[in-house]
Amino acid sequence: MTSAGGRFGRRAAALAAATLAFLHGAGPAQAHAFGPRYDLPLPLDLYLAGAGAAVALSFAIMALVFRARPAEGGLPPIDLLRLAPVRFLSHPLATGGLKAVSLGLFVLVLAAGLFGNQDTARNFAPTFVWIIWWVGLAYIAALAGNPWPALNPWSIAFAGFERLLRSSGARSRPGFGLAYPSWLGVWPAVALFGLFAWFELIAETGIVPRVLAAAILIYSALTWFAMAAFGREVWLRHGEAFSLAFGVFGRFAPIGEPERASPDGGPAPWPLRPYAGALIVDRPCSFSMTVFVLLMLATVTFDGFKETPLWGDLLQGIALAPWFHPLIRQLHDLGFDFQAALETVMLALFPLMFLLVYLGFSWLTKQASGSRRPVTEIAGLFVFSLVPIAIAYHLAHYLSYLLIAGQFIIPLASDPFGLGWNLFGTAGYGVDITVVGAKFVWYTAVVAIVVGHVFAVGVAHLVALRVFETAGLALRSQLPFLALMVAYTMASLWILSQPIVGGPSLSTLRAPSGDLTLAPFEFREMCVEMTSQDELHYDFEADRPIDFDIHYHDGLTLHFPVRHPGIAAQAGRFVSEQDQSYCLMWLNRSLMEASLTYRVIGP
Amino acid sequence: MDLRRGAGLACLAMGVLLPAALMGGAVAQESPPRVIDVRIENREVVAPQEAIRITQGDVIELHWSSDEAVALHLHGYDIELRVGPEEPAAMTIEAFAAGRFPITGHGWGGSGGSGGSHDALTYLEVYPE
């Protein structure tokens, strides 16, 4: 009995403590995963079992699917509106309520971000936006059905504005009534999603409530302006990045989007279809849409890859390479955070690499099938078949994050502004770090990855059967894609088998004192967390003039409270102006090696 | 009838086995905890060089020694501990939750300030049984 009681007590204490740790903002500094992540890497035997199963099942599908052509059209979709509870849910009162809640949350996020406590962990906005909305909604969109068209606050607000104008007797549609140029495709969404990925994965300011709210306001203004210019529906289909992103995930889901209401005013059918059904297309999507899907897949993979030790070694290798030092020096002089700059370049290269590899495999498919379609058309036919692999990886990668870090929304709901309120009595809720077992996460991850792979191979095969002239050609066309999918699935499994490490620090010194040599253009830095008015003493002596500064990072840029180019020795005292991670940096800009002795007495 | 008798038997079995299991647990907990020595030099953990790996349910003691005063923080379990050159200290961990938990150092030099790096000194990896 005492044992059980003790265990409960310990657990309760640990839960309360976990909350405290989060509230103190402790933990590896990461842009996206700002909540705690305690995932264990996937064990080697599970990794190998998953990989083996993916390969074996690929061949099983090849053998099975090509036995017989599927009946034309497949299963007819079921109309969900035939079910009474669904009819009730789609009643204007219910959908209206849902829209009001969504709009309310949108306003709450903005208000909390702009006027609430600016401590990330005590403000509703960052946790709601990054964990509940972005990660959580993607789960719902992929596994159940895409709820975004019903919840999109930009669309709801603009539609309300249109209705208001109509009732006041204005023109039937607000705005400029411009025709959307067809050559623009979904390129605006590609650009906006790229910016969003940068904001999410690289700009560390994305978790600062006020910056997040400002970014949402800018995006809102842009969205409403574009809706006024081209029409709401047009912009939702071409430019609103999240409508397209959740739409891509939603193609996997069994619940489709309600079709447009019939002209006689009868209720529109709401289709229920098999999983992945909407990924099987018989007409190629546009090249811009192909790029959009690949951009999504690449950023999802990049997010995981940048937390692996290999990524850290890669960045470190680049940063320590002699050819890179002059570039770093230049970036530093221009006031750029070179790590953020380097990661930005990598984030831009990653989707380009995905695109090149994918187009290469599309070309191989064209060769293998002898098809006369252009490569971009083949690419547009098969790009959706890769989506299940990305969804499976997303589910596996974020499962414990969503279930553990997502719990912070419970206390935050009671105190969204971080002002000490307790609206629902949940402000003192402690996060339960045992809510999801490590084994459960591992097995779910491997099963999800293997199932995702099976869906991907199956979808690609069914598409091939629809678009290639004979079953033989279809079969041959699938060999390149099969290889690509196996590689993609292996990469996903490999990332899951790696320990999650925080963003690497380049050329960081940890020892408070020591001797070092700096090669030409080499730099070293020591970063110290300081609160406002903390004091720091330093002295150093070098055998030739070097650059010394104290800086801190703000997104892509650097700020220099102290800057001394070309000095050989200095002793000084530094008092911090704000809560920041300040870095002392020594940079050798001569063409000779420099030796340096330094000492830092921290706060 | 059979079903009910089966349920009765199951209850009986639980009544006998559960206390036995609990006692077994209690006995196991009384054995001395495993001790792992962790040494910090120049603000880095020099031993053990890899992450500290244990199994869920283990009770361990981390014996810390450091050449500089520092406040250690084991995340997740949220255990804090001060350690210095003249004052080695021990951290008892009853590993009830599996996961990979960073251990960070703050307030180097014993000033009690907030100085320190967010980089983990090392990790505690608790694997499921």
Predicted confidence (pLDDT) at residue B111 exceeds the cutoff of 70: no
Residues B17 and B42 in one domain: no
ipTM score of the complex? 0.79
pLDDT (tens digit, 9 = 90+) per residue, A19-76? 434 433 333 334 344 677 889 999 999 999 999 999 999 888 887 766 655 545 556 6
Find tokens 């309520």 and name the residue: A97
Going by pLDDT thresholds of 50, 70 and 90, the confidence category of residue A14 is: very low
Mutate to test the interface with A, among B74, B75, B129 (most CBs of A within 10 A): B75
Going by pLDDT thresholds of 50, 70 and 90, the confidence category of residue A264 is: low
Number of domains comprising chain B: 2
Alpha helix positions (H), A119-152: 124-126, 137-143, 148-151
Between A502 and A416, residue with greater pLDDT: A416
State the pLDDT at residue A447. Answer: 95
> Burial level of A59, CB count in 10 A (0-12/13-18/19+)?
exposed
Residues B73 and B12 in one domain: no
Between A386 and A317, residue with greater pLDDT: A386
Residues B25 and B64 in one domain: no
Mutate to test the interface with A, among B119, B123, B127 (most CBs of A within 10 A): B119
Angstroms from B53 CA to nearest CA on chain A: 11
Residues B21 and B67 in one domain: no
Residues B16 and B70 in one domain: no
Q: Which residue of A has its CA nearest to B56?
A: A438
pLDDT (tens digit, 9 = 90+) per residue, B37-56? 999 998 889 989 889 999 99
Q: Which residue of A has its CA nearest to B92?
A: A10
Hey, are the CB atoms on B111 and A602 less than 8 Å from each other? yes
Contacts of A3 in chain B (CB under 8 A): 22, 25-26, 29
Q: Which of A302-306, A408-412, A577-581, B97-101 has the lowest mean pLDDT?
A: A577-581
Q: Is A10 on the interface with B (CB under 8 A)?
A: yes
CA distance linking residue A128 with residue A46, whole number of Å? 33
Calculate the CA dihedral of residues A76, A82, A88, A94 and round it to 10 degrees: 30
Hey, are the CB atoms on B100 and A433 less than 8 Å from each other? no
Going by pLDDT thresholds of 50, 70 and 90, the confidence category of residue A244 is: very high
Q: Is A49 on the interface with B (CB under 8 A)?
A: no
Phi, psi (rounded to 5 degrees) for A160: -60, -40
Contacts of A508 in chain B (CB under 8 A): 117, 119
Predicted confidence (pLDDT) at residue A91 exceeds the cutoff of 70: yes
Q: Which of A13-22, A302-311, A527-536, A574-583 has the lowest mean pLDDT?
A: A13-22
Q: Is A28 on the interface with B (CB under 8 A)?
A: yes
> Which H or E element spans position A365?
helix A338-369
Contacts of A40 in chain B (CB under 8 A): 98-100, 125-127
Q: What is the CATH number of the domain that holds B64?
A: 2.60.40.420
Query: Do A582 and A536 contact (CB within 8 A), yes or no?
Result: yes
Nearest by CB to B128, which of A3, A21, A438?
A: A438
Q: Where in chain A is the domain with CATH 2.60.120.680?
A: 513-601
Query: Which domain covers residue B4, as residue numbers?
Result: 1-30
Residues B56 and B118 in one domain: yes
pLDDT (tens digit, 9 = 90+) per residue, A178-237? 899 999 999 999 999 999 999 998 887 888 899 999 999 999 999 999 999 999 999 999
Question: A537-565: string of b/e by CB count within 10 Å (b at 16+)?
Answer: ebebebeebbbbbbbbbbbbebeeeeeee
Angstroms from A38 CA to nearest CA on chain B: 5
Residues B19 and B41 in one domain: no
Q: Which residues contact A8 (CB under 8 A, 6 or more apart)?
A: none
pLDDT (tens digit, 9 = 90+) per residue, A123-134? 999 999 999 999
Residues B38 and B25 in one domain: no
Residues B8 and B64 in one domain: no
Q: Which residue of B has its CA nearest to A499?
A: B100
Using alpha carbons, select from B63, B97, B66 the residue that is nearest to residue A14: B97
Between A31 and A569, residue with greater pLDDT: A569
State the pLDDT at residue A34. Answer: 67
Cα angle vertex A521, ends A520, A525, to 5°?
115
Predicted confidence (pLDDT) at residue A290 exceeds the cutoff of 60: yes
Predicted confidence (pLDDT) at residue B2 exceeds the cutoff of 70: no
State the pLDDT at residue A173. Answer: 60
pLDDT (tens digit, 9 = 90+) per residue, B79-105? 999 999 989 999 999 999 999 999 988
State the pLDDT at residue B92. Answer: 94
Q: What predicted TM-score, i.e. pTM, was given to this entire model?
A: 0.83
Residues B122 and B63 in one domain: yes
Q: Is A4 on the interface with B (CB under 8 A)?
A: yes
Going by pLDDT thresholds of 50, 70 and 90, the confidence category of residue A504 is: low
Enter the tokens of residue B108.
């180097």
- The helix/strand/coil state of A512 is coil
Predicted confidence (pLDDT) at residue A521 exceeds the cutoff of 80: no
Predicted confidence (pLDDT) at residue B17 exceeds the cutoff of 70: no
Q: Which residue of A has its CA nearest to B110?
A: A603
% of chain A beyond a pLDDT of 70: 88
Q: Which class in CATH covers the domain with range A513-601?
A: mainly beta
Mutate to test the interface with A, among B117, B126, B129 (most CBs of A within 10 A): B117
